[in-house]
Structure 1
Amino acid sequence: MTQVRMYTTAVCPYCQRAKALLHKRGVQHIEEIRVDLDHQARLHMMETTGRRTVPQIFIGATHVGGCDDLYALDAQGGLLPLLGEGQNS
């Protein structure tokens, strides 16, 4: 399964929803980058994505976007194929 990385904060309901969907789709490990604890990580997130809100989700090298983007991708049938890329846990 492809690596999943997510920029999050401690008290973000959208982060929790996104993690729940990813777990439901078989993701066992999500690399969380807490931007509420690391100002440089927040700056890097904003430079990389052009967005200020969390979560910001990456599956492999693909920036999926936020929680709504993740759910839309899943509804279109695009999430599972993206997660299956690479097969390197």
Structure 2
Amino acid sequence: MKRNDFLEKIKKYDGKLEMWQLETNELCHGDYILGCYFDNDSKVWKVYINNERGRQRIKLSTKDEDEAFDKLFSMVQFQAEMIRRSQS
């Protein structure tokens, strides 16, 4: 998925991710972040999640930007579904 497609599709999740924040340009070290960025050192896209204590886990490293945004979108969908289920 292209970055612009991701940014368009993600609009439907506005207000549905509660404490989760999205970052698509850089590595952030805060709590509750879903993100991706291009690592200039290793020349790959990295998709990551930070938990409630800011502990970061790289979920995917890839040279393909589209693959990175696909993975990030699936992570957003998963978190939104977990939040929805917890409210039921």
State the TM-score, normalizing by the size of structure 1.
Answer: 0.37
Higher RCO (C-alpha under 8 Å, 6+ residues apart): 1
Higher strand residue share: 2
Which has the larger helix fraction? Answer: 1
Calculate the TM-score normalised by the size of structure 2.
Answer: 0.37
